[in-house]
Chain A
Amino acid sequence: MTTRCPACGSEDVTFSVVEKTFSVPFGKPVTCMLDRAACQRCDATGDFAKTNDAKIEAAIEESEKSALAELLSRMGEFAQSAYVERVLGLPARTIARWKTGHASAAATALLRFIVTYPWLLEVAENRFAPREADRHVVRAFRDAFERLHWSEPDAPTVVSATGTAGSAPTSAACAGQVTVVLSTSAQTTSSVTVYAEPAVGQAA
């Protein structure tokens, strides 16, 4: 069967094979060989016969499998399966099933969020109460602020910081209203205001 260029209809087409690598977040890169057709008349290049889609999907699926294993391993470092199932309202042994590779795309997406933001489990534990959720966001911001690599050249620098409750913005128990002015480069300066509630047992 003759392959025609989908753009100009020419049959003057040359073929080659190229190596391409695909990966999903948290997954291993998977390499596959793809067909490449090139029209000598109009220069269109690509997969004229649409045979590559299946190969690419297979490579992505393989990467997804490795991502699932990696995500479950990382989640296991900070949360027990039974706890995760309980707070998320999942049927018992759901995570055990995921560990055998039987996880939907939605389950993998959920795991990506949990591994990136482990405190989401605490939000779920508090039955998604908005006030509790806000508290966790503020705490996560404070933790992320402390984790910043201040020595790197492109890291933000604290231009000024004020705290109405007398606490430094990076202190572990910041309370009250804290305004931090960050400068990430000579061109950009951003101001971040955090409204944090007093930590338990601490007067504001």
Chain B
Amino acid sequence: MSFKYPVVMPKMSMTMETGELINFHVAVGDQVKSGDVLFEVMTDKIDMEVEAPADGVIESLVANPGDVVEIGKPVLIMLTETEVMAFDFGAEDEPVAAVEVIAAPAPAITTPVAPAAPVILNETVKAVPKARVEAANRGIDLRTVRATGPDRTITMADVNGAQLDPAIAKRQAANKALIAKGIEMTRGIAQASFTRSVNANFDHATFMAAWAKVLRNRPDLAAHEHIGVALIIESKYGSALPVFRDPDQLTIADLAALVASTTDAAKNGKVPVAMLSGATTTVFDLTTYSMSSATPLLFPNQVTSVTIGYESATTKIVSLTIDLNFCDFYDGALLLDALVASL
């Protein structure tokens, strides 16, 4: 069985809105391998070859050479055996975002943002002097603050509005100093990991619901409007990361059924496209390999990552990694404690 996969005009720069299709390197019916060049694109800044995201066959050519195509709009359609390879590390829902991530990985989030606030990354920032001082003290990136002052200047009210409660802010400032003193940076993100044993037996559904519930009490930990738990599932095609959106808001029975069917599908290399994006945290279950623990790695744009390890028939080990730009050791301990308690 094969899936239709539209290969779209990728977004190659912050300002890019359209790209010109220069030419195709493939024709309808061609068999292509992942990484083969499909077509060339020209923008005002860059010429780029767009590669096949997976093995497959060219089903149709949608655009014509010379066309100016909007980003996110299909250029050709592939038939693929596996859609799961087009992972999306936490960007938005449209396929365009997935392609964007492949073309240029999104920068790691390094600053706290108020919950559900839109992230604005201004190239240059106008701010009143005190706003700069305060932002520096509290570890706020002014590029993420919405300006409401005259001439789109960031006022003190804007900085205060973007801020978390003072206790958290204070800890973050202290934490920032600690980071500066040389905590090991992994993938450019200062992070810390915690591990605890749990005397409980639980399935993936229970675990994800519990974890989502814990995270829901800390909306300051990410700028997302939902909680998306990516569950790493190994298959012969590689790792799949189907994302379960707001799993704590489903009944356990419904969630368990969804997890079961998704796991089955993923093992066959099939995950619904809708479940490929929107991850805000990741869960990796090591018990199937009888591993006790591994350091959970943070994925781009995610603040937390969790592994479940095997200790004994009745005991599991839960490990948590946190992004220290968003929370500190104390937060991490509290999160893991809350998670373990709810299991």
- A and B from one complex: no
Which residues of B are interface residues toward A (Cβ below 8 A)?
A: none
